[in-house]
């Protein structure tokens, strides 16, 4: 019960803060200042709600130049909501620096197509691996050079490769380091495993509906 009350109080304080932020100081051309928030506007007038709760409608021309510009770009909550509904998630992620890679669902597993430098490779999702792993059989086909693992490595890891670029055919990110090891039990067409900490480090977003993996540097 205490947690519920605390959460409710925090919510009320947050709403109160939002309400306060929506009000601003308006200045008339006569120098008079008032604290108010915009309720609505037309091409020539603006309806303001005063601190007392009273609403007044004033001509835009009676406000300072800065306030007229503010009112000009102001949007009602309904207008903002309508705009948000039109926003495509792809546009948002691309604007944040994400790059999309195609996903394929193959029976019980999912794979993603990654272009390592100039050659395409297929990686299966596996969240138990900390770093992306490349099957040593795929190294030669991809034209990559294996470097010794610092400290000698361990287990079946035979080294690492680091392509310069990781791309989707049109956009590219800096290539990550791949561990190289023989991987047993994966389909013949799969070149390696990806997931785990790599997804965390690159703030991965998986869109199964549109079959895309989004990652960024």
pLDDT digits (tens, 9 = 90+) for 131-183: 999 999 999 999 999 998 876 556 789 999 999 999 999 999 999 999 999 99
Architecture of domain 23-85: Roll (2.30)
Share of the chain above pLDDT 90, in %: 72
Flag whether pLDDT at 8 surpasses 80: no
CA-nearest of 75, 177, 82 to 131 is 177
- C-beta of residue 149 within 8 angstroms of C-beta of residue 159: yes
The predicted structure's pLDDT at residue 3: 38
Q: Where are the domains of the chain?
A: 23-85, 90-215
Residue with tokens 């308006």: 26
Tokens representing residue 189 in the block: 């067409």
- Could you confirm whether domain 90-215 is CATH 1.10.260.40? no
Looking at residue 53, what DSSP letter applies? S
Give the pTM: 0.63
Selected residue with higher pLDDT from 149 and 8? 149
Q: Which residues pair with 56 in a beta bridge?
A: 48
> Are domains 23-85 and 90-215 of this chain identical in fold?
no
CA distance 60 to 37: 14
CA-CA distance, 95 to 106, in Å (whole number)? 30
Confidence of residue 16 (pLDDT cuts 50, 70, 90): very low
């Amino acid at each position: 019960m205490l947690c519920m009350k605390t959460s409710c109080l925090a919510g009320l304080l947050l709403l109160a803060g939002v309400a306060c932020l929506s009000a601003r100081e308006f200045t008339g051309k006569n120098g008079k200042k008032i604290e108010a928030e915009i309720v609505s506007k037309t091409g020539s007038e603006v309806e303001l709600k005063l601190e007392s709760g009273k609403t007044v409608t004033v001509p835009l021309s009676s406000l300072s130049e800065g306030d007229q510009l503010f009112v000009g770009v102001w949007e009602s909550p309904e207008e903002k909501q309508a705009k948000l509904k039109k926003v495509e998630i792809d546009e948002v992620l691309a604007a944040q620096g994400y790059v999309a890679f195609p996903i394929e669902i193959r029976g019980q597993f999912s794979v993603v197509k990654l272009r390592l430098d100039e050659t395409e490779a297929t990686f299966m999702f596996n969240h138990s691996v900390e770093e992306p792993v490349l099957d040593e059989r795929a190294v030669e086909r991809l034209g990559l050079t294996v470097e010794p693992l610092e400290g000698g490595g361990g287990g079946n890891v035979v080294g690492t490769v680091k392509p310069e670029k990781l791309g989707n055919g049109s956009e590219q990110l800096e290539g990550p380091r791949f561990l190289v090891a023989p991987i047993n039990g994966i389909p013949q067409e799969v070149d390696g495993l990806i997931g785990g900490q790599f997804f965390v480090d690159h703030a991965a977003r998986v869109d199964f509906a549109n079959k895309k993996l989004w990652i960024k540097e």
